[in-house]
Amino acid sequence: MQQRRLGSSNIQVSAIGLGCMGMSWAYGTPADETEAISVIHRAIELGVTLFDTADVYGPFTNETLVGKALLGKRDQVTLATKCGLIVSNFEPIEYRRDGSPAYITAACEASLKRLNVDVIDLYYLHRPDPNVPIEDSMGAMLKLLQAGKIRAIGLSECDLPTLERAIAIAPISALQSELSLWTRDAMPEILPWCSQHDVAFLPFAPLGRGFLTGKITSNDGINATDFRYNNPRFQADSIAANQRLVDHISAIAARLGATNAQIALAWVLAQGDQVIPIPGTKRLQYLEENVAASAIQLTPADLESLNELPTASGTRY
């Protein structure tokens, strides 16, 4: 698979990574552990080298799963995890943020133990904490970098002013946020900023949380425990309105002999060499389908056509 660089860290990773969250959390019933581990192992066989998790996924169980799956394979992969987002209530799901230096330091040590590794390759602050200056949070991340606990620093879901303040304190190698054919908020300002500052951009939900694959035509089959159950874009009216995006993708996919998921991922990959999508899956079939998207070359006309797709109906959250 094509390789791309994690910004200023110069760590080389596969152009498509694997988001592991859904194996344990958020999207319906967690995967069987044996199946999840087989997906991770197959990803490595297919050339995937970037694996993404976080302490909040589960919480904590996803890191343990990923650590178990990567036992004996650590030297073949780049491992990313996150801190700073804490589940404060489960039904309904609610979070609180903690970007304090003491918390970041303790969270890193806990993640190292759960993952059963000596160093985390890419460590993110999952969300900036409005009650803690970003300078303080980045100072703690820098100390972890200098101590050899982590190899690169990442941020997630940051606006430009916060990024500017953060990068003045410590090097940022990666920024994670949402980017897909139905979420293009990062394109006007964030993507150019990342390119200018040698920061990799890692899109989560590049398949629109599964909607862009064309397999979701109503919300009838979405379980109440699924994150999407209450998501505005997965309500009946929005699903019906957003079907026009799927229809357009389907037409290009049919012409190229590809799947909707592959076209959607190919579009994300085409947004720049610093863009490294991390589609998540807990199924071997979808893993292999997603990885094959790295070989698809969209024509300028295809890209222009996809760029002109209408804005999605419904807010992200």
Which SS3 state, helix, strand or coil, does residue 141 take?
Answer: helix
| Percent of residues in the chain assigned helix, strand, coil, to nearest 5 | 45, 15, 40
Single-letter code of the amino acid located at 75: D
Q: Say how far residue 57 (Cα) sits from the centre of its chain.
A: 12
Residue 122 CB burial class (10 angstroms; 0-12, 13-18, ≥19):
buried
The number of beta carbons lying within 10 Å of the beta carbon of residue 286 is 19
5: left (phi over 0), alpha (psi -120 to 50) or beta: beta
DSSP 183: B
**CA atoms within a 13 Å half-sphere pointing along the CA-CB vector of 37:** 12
The set of residues, in sequence order, having a beta carbon less than 8 Å from that of 293 and lying 6+ positions away, is: 16, 258, 261, 262, 263, 264, 265, 266, 269
Q: Catalytic residue among 27, 57, 103, 286, which?
A: 57
Q: Would you state the structure tokens that stand for residue 231, as one six-digit string?
A: 């998501």
The number of beta carbons lying within 10 Å of the beta carbon of residue 55 is 24
Q: Is the dihedral of CA 214, 313, 275, 170 positive or negative?
A: negative
Single-letter code of the amino acid located at 23: M
Single-letter code of the amino acid located at 254: A
Single-letter code of the amino acid located at 285: Q
Query: C-alpha angle 157/163/166, rounded to 5°?
Result: 115
57 is catalytic: yes
The set of residues, in sequence order, having a beta carbon less than 8 Å from that of 198 and lying 6+ positions away, is: 7, 8, 274
**Which positions are catalytic?**
57
